[in-house]
């Protein structure tokens, strides 16, 4: 399976997120595409320089169990993801009352941090936000430090946690 064949099948879908969760094509093998922990994409060891191509491929990314695939209606190709396929790099309040936080990934996926797009912590303390389906964005260190500045100390059954809210949901940055 070549990169040219995949992108040819996806032409015309650049601005849409296809319903890959509805597609169950046959497995066609692996392709040497790696999404590094910093969110950069590589093909055969060479970094992708065209962000439009990365966004196009990211639109058909699917996770099954612990494996990642690029999926078209007729093919499913396994790729490697070192950590999370996206990195959350920006945020801002949508209103002056600071009740709805808009967040954005390095590939310009924008959404409101909410119960639908929650912030979660793994066992090592890394933070992730659900972008779509079961795909996650790792919270960039700069965003984390900015959130620490706005968080409040709250006593919980776990202990003292750094917390903040968005869209009616409370999020923890971890224990003090």
**Parallel, antiparallel or unpaired: strands 27-35 and 76-81:** parallel
| Same domain as 166, residue 96 | yes
pTM to 2 decimals?
0.86
Task: For residue 13, name the pLDDT band (cuts at 50, 70, 90).
Answer: very low
Last residue of some domain: 60, 81, 102?
Answer: 81
| Same domain as 75, residue 114 | no
- For residues 131 and 72, give the distance between their C-alpha atoms in angstroms, rounded to a whole number: 20
DSSP state of 73: S
Count: domains in the chain: 2
Last residue of some domain: 51, 81, 111?
Answer: 81
Is the CA virtual torsion 51, 82, 88, 38 positive or negative?
Answer: negative
pLDDT in tens, 51-76: 999 999 999 999 999 999 999 999 99
Please, which residues bridge with residue 136 across strands?
Answer: 130
pLDDT in tens, 146-163: 999 999 999 999 899 999
Q: At a CB cut-off of 8 Å and minimum separation 6, what does 5 contact?
A: none
């Amino acid at each position: 399976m070549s990169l040219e064949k995949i992108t040819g099948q996806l032409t015309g879908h650049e601005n849409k997120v296809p319903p890959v969760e509805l597609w169950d094509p046959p497995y066609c093998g692996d392709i040497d595409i790696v999404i590094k922990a910093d969110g950069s994409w590589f093909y055969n060891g060479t970094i992708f320089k065209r962000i439009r191509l990365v966004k196009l491929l990211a639109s058909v990314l699917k996770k099954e169990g612990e494996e990642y695939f690029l999926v078209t209606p007729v093919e499913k190709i396994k790729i490697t993801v070192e950590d999370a396929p996206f990195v959350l790099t920006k945020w801002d309040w949508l209103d002056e009352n600071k009740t709805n936080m808009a967040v954005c990934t390095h590939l310009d996926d924008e959404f409101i941090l909410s119960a639908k797009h929650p912030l979660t912590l793994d066992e090592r303390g890394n933070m992730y936000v659900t972008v779509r389906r079961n795909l996650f964005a790792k919270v960039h260190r700069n965003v984390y430090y900015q959130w620490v500045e706005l968080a409040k100390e709250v006593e919980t059954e776990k202990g003292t946690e750094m917390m903040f809210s968005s869209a009616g949901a409370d999020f923890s940055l971890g224990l003090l």
